[in-house]
A and B are shown apart, each in its own frame.
Chain A
Amino acid sequence: MVDVIVLVKQMPDLELIKPDPSTGEPMVKNVQLRMETLSENAVEAAVQIKEKHGGKVTAIIFGDAQSPAIMKKAYAMGVDEGFVITGYTGNNPSYTARVLAAKIAGIKHDIIIMGNQSADSISGLLPGMISRLTGEPLLGNAVSVQIDGGNARVKRVLEDRDVTIMSKLPVVVSVTQETNQPRLPPVMQILAAGRKPINTEKAALPPEDYTKILSNRAPKSERKKIIFEDVDKGVPELAKVLKEEMR
Chain B
Amino acid sequence: MKALLFSDSVAQGNQTATYIRGKMDLDMAVPSELKEKFTSSGSGRIYSLTGVLNAGNVGEKISEIFRTGYDYAFVDSTILGREVAGYLAIALGSKCVAEINSFEVTDGKARTRRYFYGGKTVLEEESSAKLFTVAPGISEASVAETKSSTEEVALQESPVKVEKTENKASTGVDISSAKILVSVGRGLGKKEGLQQLEPLVRALGAEFAGSRPVCLDYQWLGEDRWVGISGKKVSPKVYIALGISGQIQHIAGIRGSKVIMAINKDKSAPIFEECDYGIVGDMYQVVPKILALLK
Measuring CB to CB, which residues of chain A are less than 8 angstroms from any residue of chain B? 12, 14, 17, 19, 25-26, 28, 91, 93-94, 97, 117, 119-133, 137-141, 153, 157-168, 174, 178, 210-219, 221, 223-229, 231-232, 234-239, 241-243, 245-246
A243 touches B224 (CB 8 A): no
B89 touches A235 (CB 8 A): no
Residue with the greatest number of chain A CB neighbours at <10 A, chosen from B96, B160, B166:
B160
Q: How far is the CB of B122 from chain A (nearest CB, A)?
A: 5
A131 touches B87 (CB 8 A): yes
Residue with the greatest number of chain B CB neighbours at <10 A, chosen from A14, A125, A129, A225:
A125
Convert B253-276 into 0s and 1s, putting 1 for each residue whose CB lies closer than 8 angstroms to a CB of A: 001001111000001000011111
Among B87, B161, B293, the residue within 8 A (CB) of A236 is: B293
B143 at the interface (CB under 8 A from A): no
Q: What separation, in Å, do the CA atoms of A123 and B86 have in the docked complex?
A: 9
B118 touches A225 (CB 8 A): no
Q: Give the residues in chain B near A211, CB-CB below 8 Å.
A: 95, 97, 125-127, 129
Q: How far is the CB of A102 from chain B (nearest CB, A)?
A: 13
B68 at the interface (CB under 8 A from A): no
Given contacts A166-B160, A223-B275, contact A129 B89 (CB under 8 A): yes
B160 touches A139 (CB 8 A): yes
Q: How far is the CB of A155 from chain B (nearest CB, A)?
A: 9
A235 touches B279 (CB 8 A): yes
Q: How far is the CB of A13 from chain B (nearest CB, A)?
A: 11
From DSSP, what is the main secondary structure of chain B's interface residues?
mixed
Q: In the complex, which residues 197-256 of chain B have their Cβ closer than 8 Å to any Cβ of chain A?
A: 204-205, 216, 224, 229-230, 237-238, 248, 255
- 8 A-B pairs in the complex with CB atoms less than 8 angstroms apart: A17-B120, A132-B56, A132-B91, A210-B127, A216-B123, A231-B280, A238-B261, A238-B277
A163 touches B79 (CB 8 A): no
Given contacts A19-B121, A124-B77, A159-B79, contact A241 B160 (CB under 8 A): no
Q: Give the residues in chain A near B275, CB-CB below 8 Å.
A: 223-225, 227
Q: What separation, in Å, do the CA atoms of A167 and B57 have in the docked complex?
A: 14
Residue with the greatest number of chain B CB neighbours at <10 A, chosen from A97, A174, A210, A219:
A219
B144 at the interface (CB under 8 A from A): no
B204 touches A246 (CB 8 A): yes
Given contacts A211-B125, A214-B126, contact A125 B161 (CB under 8 A): no
A218 touches B121 (CB 8 A): yes
Q: How far is the CB of A121 from chain B (nearest CB, A)?
A: 6
Q: What separation, in Å, do the CA atoms of A168 and B145 have in the docked complex?
A: 47
Q: How far is the CB of B138 from chain A (nearest CB, A)?
A: 15
Residue with the greatest number of chain A CB neighbours at <10 A, chosen from B54, B276, B277:
B277
Convert B54-98 into 0s and 1s, putting 1 for each residue whose CB lies closer than 8 angstroms to a CB of A: 111001000000000000000001111011111111110001111
Which of the segments B17-25, B109-117, B147-155 contacts the partner chain? Answer: B109-117
B88 touches A228 (CB 8 A): no
Q: What separation, in Å, do the CA atoms of A27 and B90 have in the docked complex?
A: 32
Q: Give the residues in chain B near A239, CB-CB below 8 Å.
A: 290, 293-294
B168 touches A123 (CB 8 A): no
Q: Give the residues in chain B near A213, CB-CB below 8 Å.
A: 123-125
B126 touches A227 (CB 8 A): no
A128 touches B276 (CB 8 A): no
Q: What separation, in Å, do the CA atoms of A187 and B62 have in the docked complex?
A: 50
Residue with the greatest number of chain B CB neighbours at <10 A, chosen from A14, A130, A212, A242:
A242
B195 at the interface (CB under 8 A from A): no
Q: How far is the CB of A105 from chain B (nearest CB, A)?
A: 14
B124 touches A214 (CB 8 A): yes
Q: What separation, in Å, do the CA atoms of A127 and B54 have in the docked complex?
A: 12
Q: Give the residues in chain A near B259, CB-CB below 8 Å.
A: 241, 245
B98 touches A123 (CB 8 A): yes
Q: Give the residues in chain B near A217, CB-CB below 8 Å.
A: 121-122
Q: Give the residues in chain A near B116, CB-CB below 8 Å.
A: 91, 120-122, 216
Q: Give the residues in chain B near A25, CB-CB below 8 Å.
A: 121
B88 touches A128 (CB 8 A): yes
Q: How far is the CB of A128 from chain B (nearest CB, A)?
A: 2
Q: Which 7 A-B pairs have the closest CB atoms?
A: A128-B86, A124-B82, A123-B98, A239-B293, A234-B279, A128-B87, A125-B86
Q: How far is the CB of A117 from chain B (nearest CB, A)?
A: 7
Q: Give the residues in chain A near B27, CB-CB below 8 Å.
A: none
Given contacts A211-B129, A234-B279, contact A162 B168 (CB under 8 A): yes
